[in-house]
Every structure is written in structure tokens, then in C-alpha cells.
Chain A
Amino acid sequence: MSGTGGGGSGSGSGSGSGSGSGDEFGRAVARAAVAQALEAAGFDCAHRSAVDAVVDVLLRYITHLGRSAAFHSNLAGRALANELDVIQALEEVGNDTDGFAGAAATGRCLVGSGVVRDLMAFVDSKDEVPFARPLPRFPVQRVQPQPSASPAAAAGREAGMRHVPEWLPAFPDSHTYVSTEVWVEPPATKDRVDKVEQVRQRRKAEKSLLSLQRRLAMAGVDGFRPAVAQDSAEKGKEIQAAGTKRNPFLEPALPPGEKDVSEVDMPPEKKKLSVLEAFAPAIQARTIREVDAGAGLDQNQRSIVPKERAPVHLKLGFEKKPLAAALNSRALDLREDPSFLKEEAKDDKKRRAGMILRASMENPQELPQL
């Protein structure tokens, strides 16, 4: 066994910690055993560095024996070592450079090897010298060298990780790899969803308003038409059913006095609010029914039959294109308004209708003729 123990013990004459890599407890125990053996041999005292060197050599000896025995057993195809493996390892190491009896002979049985005989002789010779029984401190040691190899391994073993062998180091904390729900609410996507929803509803309302105005314009231009209006393609677009329904706006006028109608009360000024009130049921009906009512004007018109007739303000002027643009621009302005975003859809529609009417009031020439 040729090992350079000088490097290990050359770190200092102190505790000799340069040679130890981490198993300080084993080294301390071995130091005690070595000191006891030295005292039994006849030494009065010893240098500490010399004791550490002996400890290092001894531990290397044990390790080398174990490694060669494991190698021999693996060579034979076994996982667990045999006593013959140990004996062969001992022979390979060579207890003494003088050799032992029968070392030169090959091809003999290991059972009668000289090493074993030397050991037996040693055992017999040892009994002659009486010495103190070693201190019983070592039964406690079995707990420590194994946890020192696998620190805190038993901590997580009961947590359901029994398939993991114990000699592996402990896992990190479970919060580092367990995926939990993210608590942060992304307000950006919510706003985006709200904006998309608002834009969609606005577009629906715009479409319905546009078709209503168009139909009113058609009704005003072309005069009274029968309810069954399948002639024009435009009307066909607006009327959902195949014309079997009777459009109340296109029916011939009732003769005066046939039907009792309430008096029309003229509100003093607020024209916007009146039209807004006239459109309010439609807006409400539209908000209640989330179905695509872009072309379903019939249903809306049928549902809104106001009890009292509100005055209808007719606007002069004929323009089709900027209406949608005005609606879109109004919608853009409303979208930029932060206070507008926070209200409900119903209030949005009311406000938007009001803005549209305000725009129509400002530009009387641009609106289609009603």
C-alpha cells in the first residue's frame, strides 16, 4: 500500500484538519482507537501529527480493503461481498512486506491461506496482553455517520417521497417546485375584455340605430308601403322574417279618430332627453337581450310601444356616410374617457345615444332626412 501520507499530515501539527474531508467524527473515533493501540504497544505519548497520520493511514487501509473486496465480488458477478473476497483482498494488500506463508503459491484454496493463519496467530497472541476494554461510546455512532452522509434526508421521507432512496440529499422546499395558483389578477386583460365587449355592444347598437334611421328614411322617402315588403333588397336585409310580419311603421295611416291616442305633451327644451327617452326602451331591450339584434329591428320595435307618444323630432339633411363615422368617432371619444369605462353597459348605451344625438344636433346638415 503506497500512499503519500505526508501531504495529508503536512498541513500542520495542530489538529490535522487538512486531511479530513468531512467525516470528522469517524476520524475522532479512529484517533481514540489509535491512541489506545499505541498506548497498548508501549508508547507513553505521541505527537499529535503522528497520531493523525496513523489515523489517516488506518482509514485508508480500511477503505482499500473494502474497495478491493467489493471489486473481487463484482468480478465474480456478485453484489454482496464474501469472506473469500475479503481474504483475497487481504492477500492482495499484503500484511507485511515480508509476506505470509504460502504467498508465492498460486492456484490454491483461499480457505487455508496464510493470511488467515497469520490473523489467527495474531488473535491468539493478543489475548496474552491484557488491556482495558474499549469505552462503550461507539454504539451511538451508528446514528451519526449515516446522517452525515445524507443530511436531513429523513425530513422529507415521510412526505410521500418513499420512492426516493434515502442516501440522496433532501429535496429543496416544496414551494420552489410545486406549482400553485397565481393570485395576481391581470387587470390589463380584464380591461381589454371589457373594452372588446363594449366595442361589440356599441357596434350592435350602432348597427341597429343605423338601420332604424335608414328605414325611417326609406319610409319617409318612399311613402307608405304595405307591410309585406319583399320588393327592395334593403328592406329584405332589415326585416329578418320573410316579410310575413307587418311592420308597424309601414302600415297605412289610420283615419283620424279611429284610435284614441294620447295627447302629445311637448317638453320645454330638452330635445336630447326626449329622443333619449324614446330610445331608452330600445336601448334597454337591447342590453337585456344579448342576442345579435343588429337586424332584428322588428322585435325591438314591437316590444317598444310607448304608452304615451313622445314628440318625434325630424331632422333635415341627407347624409349616410358620416353617420357611421360619427358614431365611430363618438365611440372613440367615449372609449378614451376613463370615467366612461367603469360604468355598466346599460349606462354606456344611454350615454352613447346621447352623444350621438348631441352630434346630430350640432350637425343638422349631415344627418339623413327623416
Chain B
Amino acid sequence: MLGSVVRKIPDELVEHYLGRSGFHCPDLRLTRLVAVATQKFLSDIASDSLQHCKARVAAPIKDNKSKQPKDKRLVLTMDDLSKALREHGVNLKHPEYFADSPSAGMAPSTREE
């Protein structure tokens, strides 16, 4: 079952990050299992955000100015991603603009008062 999947997540990457978290398995099938699970997770996120993006594009169709759902390119934005991730339990908040120095959002220890 695992061999039929065209793996987009490379095995070495998964093994590296599993090793960093203390998960040592000499069995390759377990690694493939985790890789498949992450691939499924990734595809779920992608499809959900795609749905959000299409819904966003399809909404102001009465504007009749620029946005046409078929020609316009589908761009993954942070808004769509945050909405898709919220359903999976990840709270993603992206600030729209930065009004401060580049070290604004960093840890207080590194920030100058």
C-alpha cells in the first residue's frame, strides 16, 4: 500500500525530523507511514485553502471590473491559509503591515528598549 504512493515528502527529510524528536525506527515502513500521513495532512491544507481562495474569488463577481474566476490566478495567501489551518487546530495570525522596526516581533531579550 505504501509503495504505490508517489512520495512527495522525501524519506530523508522525514527521517531527519523524526530523529530530532526522538523517534528512532529502523523500519522503513514506519517512516513511509509518517511520510504518507504528512502528505495527507499537506494535501488537506492545500485543498482547504484552495477552496477558500476560490470562494474569495467567486464572491465579488458582481464587481464586473477585474476579477474573473476563470482567468485570475489562484494565489495562496496568508488569509486563506489561516482559515484552512484553523480547522486543523493551528492558529495562524499574520500581521498585514509592519509599522515598527524589523526587530519588533522578536524576543524581548534581543529587542532594544
Contacts and interface: CB of A to CB of B under 8 A. Distances in A.
Contact of B90 (A3, A10, A95): A3
Contacts of A290: none
Contacts of A43: 46, 49-50, 53, 74-76
Interface residues of A, number: 73
B89 A80 contact: no
B53 to A, nearest CB: 8
Interface in B71-113: 73-78, 80-82, 85, 87-95, 98, 102, 105-106
A120 interface: yes
Contacts of A10: 93-95, 105
Interface in A105-120: 118-120
Nearest to A134: B8
B75 A141 contact: no
A29 B13 contact: yes
Given A58-B38, A96-B44, A45 B91 contact: no
Q: In this complex, which of B23, B40, B75 has the most chain A Cβ atoms within 10 angstroms of its Cβ?
A: B23
Nearest to B2: A123
Contacts of B56: none
Contacts of A49: 78, 94
Contacts of B75: 43-47
B91 A66 contact: no
Using C-beta atoms within 8 Å of the partner chain, give the interface range for chain B.
Answer: 35 or more
Interface stretch (A31-39, A197-205, A226-234, A302-310): A31-39
Contacts of B30: 81, 83, 86
B110 to A, nearest CB: 11
Given A11-B105, A18-B106, A70 B23 contact: yes
B105 A2 contact: no
A120 to B, nearest CB: 6
A121 to B, nearest CB: 10
Given A6-B94, A62-B17, A97-B89, A41 B50 contact: yes
B5 A126 contact: yes
B43 interface: yes
B31 to A, nearest CB: 10
Contacts of B19: 66
B55 interface: no
A81 B33 CA distance: 13
B13 to A, nearest CB: 5
Interface string B6-31: 11111111111111111111110110
Interface of B: 1-2, 4-27, 29-30, 33-34, 36-47, 49-50, 53, 73-78, 80-82, 85, 87-95, 98, 102, 105-106
28 contacts: A3-B90, A3-B91, A9-B92, A11-B106, A23-B20, A26-B16, A26-B17, A29-B10, A40-B8, A50-B80, A54-B42, A57-B45, A58-B38, A62-B14, A62-B18, A62-B21, A63-B20, A64-B21, A66-B23, A67-B21, A81-B23, A95-B37, A122-B43, A123-B36, A133-B6, A138-B13, A142-B15, A145-B16
- Those 8 A-B pairs whose CB atoms lie nearest each other, nearest first: A66-B23, A46-B76, A6-B93, A41-B46, A138-B10, A66-B21, A145-B16, A66-B18
Interface of A: 1-7, 9-12, 18, 23, 26, 29-30, 33-34, 36-38, 40-47, 49-51, 53-54, 57-59, 61-67, 69-70, 79-81, 83, 86, 90, 94-97, 118-120, 122-123, 126-127, 131, 133-134, 138-139, 141-142, 145-146, 149
